[in-house]
Each structure stands twice: as structure tokens, then as C-alpha cells.
């Protein structure tokens, strides 16, 4: 699924404030019901791009920072709005953030911006990216042998189960 060219062109127009911090996306972003904020597929694609473009090398796998700033501390140098994040990804920033304008499509930039915004999100969202299987205590359900998923039934009835019928 790709965004049609007129929509992609409209999304590429980032209307920033004169200080290059904050602004607003084009009207098409709201007409599409903020698809990169509220759609689990788009957020999962952003998560994939975060790993693919090695954002974790500077910002940390969990967004805790490192060479680049943290997304978790609640303080965003250029603002936490979607358009500010998209502008940072598109054009880069002076202290080391490279520009990805020529490396990503407009849709990918917005997908990545949506995911980055969920990392440091302090607002409840109805959509979320996929979970990380490496953070779970056991393998994902589709990779676990069936016998591990089911507990063996007790040989004898337990007293807390009550009398037999």
C-alpha cells in the first residue's frame, strides 16, 4: 500500500513556525484522520523503519537516548508535535541528526515520526505498534511448541475444586 502521489505531495509540505519548532501538518493529514498517529499498521511500519535506519544507535532501542536525545524524558528540543518530528527526520538537525529526505519516502517519514512519538508518549493512544518479542519471558505463541502452552491436568482432583458431581 502506497500513498497516492497527490496525498504524498501534500504531506511533504511541512508548515513550521519561523523558529523551525512546532507547526501544523497539511489539511490532508487531518482529512485522513491522522493515519500515522492512530493506525497500528502505520505505527508498526514506523517501528520497522526505526530499526532499519538504525535510529536505535543514537536514540537507544527503547528511546532512552545515547548519542542522540532521549524520547522518554518529556523534553523535546524541537517539540513533540508530529510535524516537528517529521521535519527533524526530513531535514535533520544541527547537532548531528542527519537528513533522511533522500533516503525515505514521505510516507515512511510520517510512519517513523508516528512511531517516535509513541515512544515518548504520555497520552493514551488507541493504537500501538507491535510488541517486542525479545522483552517477553517466553517465546511468542507462534514459535512455542504446543506442549509448553498447555498445563498438564492434575492427576487427582484438588480439594479447592469442591466435591465431584
Region 48-61: mean pLDDT is 93
Q: What element of type H or E holds 41?
A: helix 40-52
Q: How far from 72 is each of 65, 67, 155, 164, CA to CA, in Å? A: 8, 14, 50, 54
Instruction: State yes or no: pLDDT of 92 exceeds 80.
Output: yes
- The pLDDT assigned to 158 comes to 63
Mean pLDDT of the chain: 78
Q: What percent of the chain has pLDDT over 90?
A: 24
Can you tell me which residue has the cell 533516503?
103
Q: How far from 78 is each of 72, 97, 112, 139, 148, CA to CA, in Å? A: 14, 12, 16, 38, 48
- The pLDDT assigned to 76 comes to 83
pLDDT band, very low/low/confident/very high, at 58 (cuts 50, 70, 90): very high
- With a CB cutoff of 8 Å and minimum separation 6, the contacts of 100 are 53, 89, 90, 92, 109
Q: pLDDT digits over 2-31, tens only?
A: 677 777 777 777 777 777 777 777 777 777
pLDDT band, very low/low/confident/very high, at 154 (cuts 50, 70, 90): low
Region 89-95: mean pLDDT is 90
- The pLDDT assigned to 24 comes to 74
Residue 142 DSSP label:
G
Q: What is the pTM of this model?
A: 0.72
Amino acid at each position: 500500500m502506497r500513498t497516492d502521489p497527490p496525498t504524498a505531495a501534500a504531506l511533504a509540505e511541512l508548515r513550521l513556525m519561523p523558529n523551525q519548532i512546532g507547526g501544523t501538518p497539511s489539511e490532508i493529514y487531518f482529512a485522513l484522520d491522522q493515519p500515522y498517529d492512530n493506525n497500528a499498521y502505520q505505527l508498526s511500519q514506523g517501528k520497522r523503519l526505526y530499526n532499519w535506519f538504525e535510529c536505535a544507535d543514537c536514540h537507544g532501542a527503547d528511546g532512552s537516548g545515547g548519542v542522540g536525545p532521549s524520547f522518554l524524558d518529556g523534553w523535546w528540543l524541537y517539540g513533540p508535535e508530529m510535524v516537528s518530528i517529521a521535519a527533524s527526520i526530513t531535514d535533520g538537525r544541527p547537532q548531528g541528526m542527519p537528513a533522511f529526505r533522500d533516503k525515505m519516502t514521505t510516507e515512511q517519514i510520517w510512519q517513523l515520526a508516528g512511531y517516535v512519538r509513541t515512544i515518548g508518549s504520555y497520552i493514551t493512544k488507541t493504537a500501538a505498534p507491535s510488541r517486542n518479542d525479545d522483552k517477553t519471558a517466553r517465546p511468542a505463541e507462534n514459535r512455542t511448541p504446543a506442549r509448553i502452552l498447555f498445563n498438564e491436568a492434575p492427576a487427582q482432583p484438588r480439594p479447592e475444586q469442591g466435591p465431584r458431581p
